[in-house]
């Protein structure tokens, strides 16, 4: 028997107090698949991504990444760390450490989560900094970088982890328009490597170009999903149609 690959999320639920945000979300993602999630604000897109990494702890459901399967209701600290080793997260507001250089922002998790030596982590970080076009910024602190450069460090930090699944939560929403292009270009390069990606974005042209599949979420449910041509050109559900009329 071959070991399972890809990602499988089953019946994921998450509430904040009385607010039931994720309602029985089930979703499979094939290895190398690029999935984009769209939907109105407040609908649970961030909560879905954050739940997969236990940045928000889901209440119930299972998350399987490759041969690691985690029952959310019973997840131990070890399960959560194992899941975090297989997933990486790119935040809307970059979430860089202000008191660390670009290189140190990338090496931090390599050393603390992956247990790499400082020398190995530095070598990996320098390769990533070259790949993201930031070799000359290795020793710069976030405050000395543009928004686009900061987010490229954020993406580089996630790339360095070699995760089975990269999660992107509106990675360009906080950027001045002039920096959006360079960040989307870097994401395109990540996608070309057949990295498995789950991306929340409002950049519809980018989604159309990059996504193997687009998921429309509303009210904590997956309402509709399909390849971009189908979901964007021929949406079936009235909620999808109404949303697309507003954003496209
Ligand atoms: P989206 O990313 O689609 O805009 P979110 O996942 O951020 O939506 O939020 C979904 C719902 O969950 C919203 O009603 C939001 O107010 C609520 N929510 C999100 N995070 C928290 C939290 N930490 N505490 C309480 N409520 C939250
Ligand atoms: Mg959000």
Mean pLDDT of 150-172: 97
Q: Is residue 1 part of a domain?
A: no
124: in domain: yes
Is residue 186 a part of any domain in this protein? yes
In a domain, 198, yes or no: yes
| 31 inside domain | yes
Residues 6+ away with beta carbon under 8 Å from 123:
none
* pLDDT one-digit tens code per residue, 79-108: 999 999 999 999 999 999 999 999 999 999
Residue 104 lies in a domain: yes
Q: What angle do CA 138, 144, 146 make, to 5 degrees?
A: 95
User: How large is the average pLDDT for residues 233-242?
Assistant: 97
From ligand 1's centre to the CA of 157, what distance in Å?
A: 25
Ligand 1 binding pocket, CB closer than 6 Å? 16, 19, 21, 39, 41-47
Q: What pTM, to 2 d.p., does this model score?
A: 0.96
Length of the chain: 248
* Per-residue model confidence (pLDDT) at position 5: 83
Q: Is residue 27 part of a domain?
A: yes
**Ligand 2 centre and the CA of 185: distance in Å?**
22
pLDDT at 132: 97
Number of folded domains that form the chain: 1
Q: What is the mean pLDDT of the chain?
A: 96
Residue percentage of the chain with pLDDT more than 90: 96
- Determine the pLDDT at residue 113: 86
pLDDT of 2 higher than 90: no
User: Which is the closest atom of ligand 1 to the Cα of 48?
Assistant: 6
At 191, is the pLDDT very low, low, confident or very high (cuts 50, 70, 90)?
very high
pLDDT at 196 over 90: yes
Say how many Å lie between the CA of residue 124 and the centre of ligand 2. 30
**Domain region containing 165:** 7-247
Ligand 1: residue whose CA is nearest its atom 14: 42
Q: Which residues have C-beta under 5 Å from ligand 2, the single-atom ion?
A: 45-46
State the ligand closest to the CA atom of 50. Answer: 1
Centre of ligand 2 from the C-alpha of residue 126, in Å: 31
User: If you take atom 11 of ligand 1, which residue's CA is the nearest one?
Assistant: 42
Residue 2 within a domain: no
ipTM of this complex: 0.98
CATH code, 120: 3.40.50.300
Residue keyed to tokens 């989560």: 113
Q: How far is the CA of 238 from the centre of ligand 2 (A)?
A: 22
Average pLDDT (182-189) is 98
């Amino acid at each position: 028997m071959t070991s399972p690959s890809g990602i499988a999320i089953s019946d994921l639920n998450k509430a904040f107090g009385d607010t039931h945000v994720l309602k029985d979300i089930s979703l499979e993602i094939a290895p190398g698949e690029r999935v984009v999630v769209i939907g109105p604000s407040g609908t649970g897109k961030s909560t879905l991504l954050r739940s997969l990494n236990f940045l928000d702890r889901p209440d119930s459901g299972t998350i399987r990444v490759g041969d690691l399967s985690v029952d959310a209701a019973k997840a131990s600290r070890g399960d959560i760390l194992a899941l975090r080793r297989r997933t990486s997260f790119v935040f809307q507001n970059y979430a860089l450490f202000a008191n660390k250089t670009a290189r140190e922002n990338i090496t931090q998790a390599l050393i603390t989560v992956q247990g790499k030596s400082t020398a190995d982590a530095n070598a990996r970080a320098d390769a990533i900094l070259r790949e993201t076009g930031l070799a000359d910024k290795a020793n710069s602190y976030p405050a000395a970088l543009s928004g686009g450069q900061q987010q490229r460090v954020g993406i580089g930090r996630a790339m360095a982890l070699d995760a089975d699944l990269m999660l992107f939560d509106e990675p360009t929403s906080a950027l001045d328009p002039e920096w959006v292009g360079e960040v989307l270009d870097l994401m395109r390069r990540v996608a070309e490597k057949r990295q498995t990606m789950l991306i929340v974005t409002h950049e519809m042209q980018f989604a159309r170009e990059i996504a193997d599949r687009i998921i429309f979420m509303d009210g904590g449910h997956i309402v509709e999903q399909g390849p971009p041509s189908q979901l964007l050109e021929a949406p079936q559900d009235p909620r999808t149609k109404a949303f697309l009329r507003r954003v496209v």
